[in-house]
């Protein structure tokens, strides 16, 4: 175990330097010129004004800074210097670990490393950041990196934690070709409690971390108000704002399926993804069982037509969520969904298609992902089945968390958003669902959000959410997460347009889809795939143009 240094009581520059020299000699076990035996300065050795000086008044340039090579003691230490400011109880330490990869399936490598950390039994992941794709530094002739940060609890000391992380890298086959070169996995300790560690193998806080956007961006996802205990050190968010922005700007991304590029949620000219609705229920509100118990060849033709029309995600529904719908068992829902997944996976045209399953049952989610689905679309965000979020975490798939109150049968009686209004309330309740998902082990980069248009919302609520979607996207706790919006053929569109038949609400749906894209929706869920694909392309041309994007306050950036 690593021994902690005695508390520093230095009040002058001279006594602080003596403290560092004595500690270096003690921990290194070396006797070197320039490191005389330490003796506490006597009262007569310093003037009265100097003795009264507060430690914070010492110029920072006179202190030994562990994060700058030129300021570290000129001695190779065999044991670390640890300065503990606010230690946690023994055996309970909080650390932030940087995650990086630019070889192979980069997301899979990072997720494997997270599983390896938890499998050790000595590291518990608390939260993860978004993933950010960044250009390589130093050695430029290599692929882009995927970077993230995780917050962990651990029983390990700093050097023991370093040993464990390097062991994971070795088990995962990391090979160092050249310094700063390509690597399938890279794990670095950024912070450990509130401690400063100086050792020949390790420096904490990580050197230059405040100068690197690809470190600060993910840190700000999970700890924007945290700061280093240094003189004049601002929060991580303040440090990030001091940096010159990258060109092109960094964007968090969310993986959908291996065959599809991820969603870059803040990229200004990203294309809107089209999610086609494929209900295989007898009682869907909009298609009256059109695809229920039909011939496999006919169902395959329908799927092919959706893909040809522009769908990149197919959302399969085996349980209707309309008010008053008959609730079926999980086994029956599975029996409806699995044959459709099998058909899609057998089609050559569907090689680059992501499969989503619309369910709020954990057992259905498990069977669906194991059969080849990629995404779980849960209208209850894990509230209707307590096993849903842990199951999704174990499966390691992407999940869409939709805002809803109550159940599909009772939701319309819960559409009261006083006193804070629908926007703030939906943002707060989704924040709570994201927090629950993270506690269950779902990685932040695997989460998609849905404001729940038509679910426990009045017509005015639906319109306000569409009108102010951009503000919802920029809620501090939800920033960087992708958004799915489903307005297709819904009742509020029929009421406004005067169209009673759901299948004839395409024109009203087109306007709602356009509003959603203007507000920043990353995915739109639709019935009329061909028509809404054209609408989305036109809306992208209008609103997804680099340099034209708006800020939250509505001013041009």
Report the catalytic residues: 490, 525
Kindly report the backbone phi and psi dihedral angles of residue 555, in degrees, each rounded to the nearest multiple of 5, phi listed first. Answer: -85, 150
**In the block, which residue shows the tokens 């092109």?**
248
How crowded is the C-beta side of 289, counted as CA atoms within 13 Å? 6
Pair 276, 529: CB distance under 8 Å: yes
Distance CA 285, CA 426 (A): 25
CA-wise closest residue to 93 among 5, 8, 184, 162: 162
- CB atoms under 10 Å from CB of 93, counted, come to 19
Kindly report the backbone phi and psi dihedral angles of residue 125, in degrees, each rounded to the nearest multiple of 5, phi listed first. Answer: -75, 130
Distance CA 440, CA 318 (A): 25
Tokens encoding 426: 């939906």
Beta bridge partners of 279: 317
Distance CA 362, CA 33 (A): 67
The radius of gyration computed from the CA coordinates of the chain, to the nearest angstrom, equals 28
Q: Helix 459-467 crosses helix 421-440 at what angle (to 10 degrees)?
A: 80
3-state DSSP call for residue 306? helix
Distance CA 496, CA 463 (A): 11
Cis ω for the linkage preceding 196 (within 30 of 0)? no
Burial (CB count within 10 angstroms: exposed 0-12, middle 13-18, buried 19+), residue 344:
buried
- CB atoms under 10 Å from CB of 495, counted, come to 12
Antiparallel, parallel or unpaired: β 195-198 and 203-204 = antiparallel
- CB atoms under 10 Å from CB of 152, counted, come to 22
**Ranges of H-type helices in 120-258:** 158-171, 213-222, 236-242
CA-wise closest residue to 468 among 427, 510, 423: 423
Pair 186, 215: CB distance under 8 Å: no
Residue 147 CA, chain-centre distance (Å), reads: 11
Distance CA 17, CA 2 (A): 22
**In the block, which residue shows the tokens 């959302």?**
315
3-state DSSP call for residue 302? helix
Pair 232, 60: CB distance under 8 Å: yes
- CB atoms under 10 Å from CB of 52, counted, come to 10
């Amino acid at each position: 175990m690593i021994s902690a240094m005695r508390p520093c009581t230095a009040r002058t520059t001279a006594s602080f330097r003596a403290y560092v020299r004595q500690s270096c000699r003690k921990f290194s076990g070396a006797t070197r010129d320039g490191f005389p035996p330490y003796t506490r300065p006597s009262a007569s050795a310093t003037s009265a004004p100097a003795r009264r000086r507060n430690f914070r008044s010492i110029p920072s340039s006179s202190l030994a800074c562990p994060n700058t090579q030129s300021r570290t003691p000129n001695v190779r230490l065999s044991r670390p210097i640890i300065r503990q400011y606010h230690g946690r109880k023994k055996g309970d330490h909080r650390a932030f670990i940087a995650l990086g990869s630019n070889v192979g399936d980069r997301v899979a490598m990072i997720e494997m490393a997270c599983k390896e950390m938890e499998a050790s039994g000595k590291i518990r992941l608390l939260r993860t950041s978004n993933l950010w794709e960044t250009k390589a530094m130093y050695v430029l002739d290599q692929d882009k990196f995927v970077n993230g940060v995780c917050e962990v609890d651990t029983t390990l000391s700093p050097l023991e934690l370093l040993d464990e992380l390097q062991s994971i890298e070795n088990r995962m086959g990391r090979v160092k070709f050249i310094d700063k070169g390509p690597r399938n996995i890279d794990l670095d300790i950024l912070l450990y409690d509130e401690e400063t560690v100086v050792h020949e193998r390790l420096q904490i806080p990580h050197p230059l971390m405040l100068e690197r956007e690809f470190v600060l961006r993910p840190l700000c996802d999970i700890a924007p108000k945290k700061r280093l205990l240094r003189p004049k050190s601002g929060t991580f968010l303040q440090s990030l704002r001091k940096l010159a922005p990258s060109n092109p700007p960094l964007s968090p991304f969310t993986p959908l399926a291996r065959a599809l590029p991820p969603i870059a949620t803040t990229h200004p000219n990203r294309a809107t993804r089209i999610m086609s609705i494929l209900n295989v229920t007898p009682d869907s509100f909009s298609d009256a069982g059109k695809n229920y118990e039909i011939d496999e060849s006919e169902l395959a033709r329908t799927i092919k037509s959706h893909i040809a029309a522009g769908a990149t995600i197919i959302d399969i529904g085996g349980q209707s969520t309309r008010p008053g719908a008959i609730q079926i068992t999980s086994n029956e829902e599975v029996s409806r969904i699995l044959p459709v997944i099998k058909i899609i996976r057998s089609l050559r045209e569907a090689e680059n298609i992501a499969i989503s399953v619309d369910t709020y049952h954990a057992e259905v989610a498990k069977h669906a992902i194991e059969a080849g689905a990629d995404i779980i679309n849960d209208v209850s965000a894990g509230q209707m089945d307590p096993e849903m979020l842990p199951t999704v975490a174990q499966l390691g798939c992407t999940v869409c968390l939709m805002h809803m109150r109550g159940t599909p049968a009772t939701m319309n009686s819960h559409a009261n958003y006083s006193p804070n209004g629908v926007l703030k309330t939906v943002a707060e309740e989704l924040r709570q669902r994201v927090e629950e998902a993270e506690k269950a082990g779902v990685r932040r980069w695997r989460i998609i959000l849905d404001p729940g248009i038509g679910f426990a919302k009045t017509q005015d609520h639906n319109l306000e959410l569409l009108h102010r979607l951009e503000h919802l996207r920029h809620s501090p706790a939800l920033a960087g997460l992708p958004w799915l919006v489903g307005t297709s053929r819904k009742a509020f569109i029929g009421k406004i347009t005067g169209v009673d038949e759901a299948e004839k609400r395409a024109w009203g749906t087109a306007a709602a889809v356009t509003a959603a894209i203007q507000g920043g929706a990353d995915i739109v869920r639709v019935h009329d795939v061909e028509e809404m694909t054209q609408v989305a392309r036109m809306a992208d041309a209008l609103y997804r143009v680099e340099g034209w994007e708006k800020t939250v306050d509505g001013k041009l950036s």
